[in-house]
Amino acid sequence: MALRRVFRPWKGRSSSSLDLVKAEAIESEQQEHRGGDGEEAEQEIVAAQDEDCWSKMLPELLGEIIQRVEASEDQWPIRKNVVSCACVCKRWRDVTRGIVRSPLQSGKITFPSSLKQPGPRETPLQCFIKRNKRTSTFYLYLGLTPTLMDKGKFLLAARRFRHGAHTEYIISLDADDLSQGSNAYVGKLSSDFLGTKFTIYDSQAPYTGAKPSNNRASRRFASKQISPQVSAGNFEIGQVSYKFNLLKSRGPRRMLCTMQCPWVKETSCELSEKSSAMQSPAASGSTVLRNKAPRWHEHLQCWCLNFHGRVTVASVKNFQLAAVVDPSQPEGKGDEDMVLLQFGKVGDDVFTMDYRQPLSAFQAFAICLTSFGTKLACE
């Protein structure tokens, strides 16, 4: 058996990050659909034999193969081969997940689950957002080079919908399927009538034992329950508010964010142990973020912040967020000098987004989405 077969995607499937999500669904479908006519039944038998063959590989050899792939292919697009390893079969997926480190440790985004894990602590992950005004759609990409000349690695998409006096942003792993009933749905952002207060909802429980929100705006489906495995509600994980500017004084917007962020200590523990720690209520805490106040530049006649070359166009949407120091916390959460999330304009419809621990890509993207749209009461 040639090793190149490890990187071959299953027939009829792409080798993108969505493969891992689809592979799990295929496993359950194979249990239900054993029958079939002619060619379909034969293809299922061949796929089952092929998977069984690879699942019986010696553990030492399997671990060595995946470790070499993980070490050699550390950037996208060739990093898709790591995802391909996880799509071979369930056993390969379990081994790959045990070897591939989280973004907090490695500074890399590999699986869809990485999008809801904290970013690195020292160096922020550099991303960018592209806006399509005609369709009110926003696309999040992982930057592959600092120059923004590359196409980037697609991560998430969001579309703005109007529901009466309220606005919602549906966030999905699939740019072509932006509905709450999709398997690619990851969460949403809901605003009030004035567009000054936003609530961020996650499709999955942020920790074990978390209960979905029971208000109407948080509901995922019109019915109460469509499946025991799928929750009809969303889980509230954060709020973003913009302060009113009643006197219409000159100045930028003022933001305040309260997020439920998992604080994971950097240790040499296994990835599985880290995942379990992030899923416990004790490991999750409320983090308060406030935008850094810019200074007025007399020569340029504008408000200025140091974005270290990552923002090139002046805009009221630009901001930097830092954690508010809370002396009551045992670990002294908060460092008002360290920027945890910065967002700014570099083109007509292109914006940079850089984030780090304790925020995840999903949380950072949702916060940045709140900056789009006119806020007359805040400007």
pLDDT band at 325 (very low <50, low <70, confident <90, very high): confident
pLDDT value of position 47? 57
Using 50, 70 and 90 to split pLDDT, how confident is the model at 283?
A: very low
Distance CA 266, CA 103 (A): 11
Determine the average pLDDT of the residues in 146-151.
75
pLDDT of residue 352: 95
* Nearest CA among 29, 27, 42 for reference residue 89: 27
Task: List the one residue out of 119, 57, 45, 123 whose CA is nearest residue 359.
Answer: 119
Residue 362's nearest CA partner among 218, 191, 188 is 188
Q: Which residues pair with 262 in a beta bridge?
A: 284
E strand or H helix at 285, and its extent?
strand 284-291
Whole-structure pTM over 0.85, yes or no?
Answer: no
83-87 average pLDDT score: 89
- Domains identified in the chain and CATH numbers: 14-100 (no CATH), 125-378 (3.20.90.10)
What is the secondary structure of 262-282 as a DSSP string?
Answer: E-----S--HHHHHHHHTSGG
Is residue 128 within 8 A of residue 152, CB to CB? The reply is: yes
Angle between helices 271-278 and 90-99 (to 10 degrees): 80
Compute the average pLDDT of residues 348-373: 94
Of the ranges 1-15, 78-92, 297-311, 322-336, the best mean pLDDT one: 78-92
**Between residues 35 and 287, which one has the greater pLDDT?**
287
User: Which residue has 């071959």 as its token pair?
Assistant: 8
Across the chain, mean pLDDT equals: 77
Q: DSSP letter at 237?
A: E
Answer left, alpha or beta for residue 115, where phi above 0 means left and psi between -120 and 50 means alpha. Answer: alpha
- Least confident span in 72-76, 145-149, 204-208: 145-149
Pairing of strands 185-191, 197-202: antiparallel
350-359 mean pLDDT: 94
Give residue 145's pLDDT.
Answer: 84
pLDDT of residue 180: 86
- Reduce the DSSP state of residue 256 to 3 states and report it: strand
200-211 pLDDT per residue, tens: 999 988 877 778
Are the CB atoms for 359 and 119 separated by under 8 Å?
Answer: yes
Three-class SS of residue 93? helix
Q: What pLDDT score was predicted for residue 257? A: 94
Average pLDDT over residues 297-318: 83
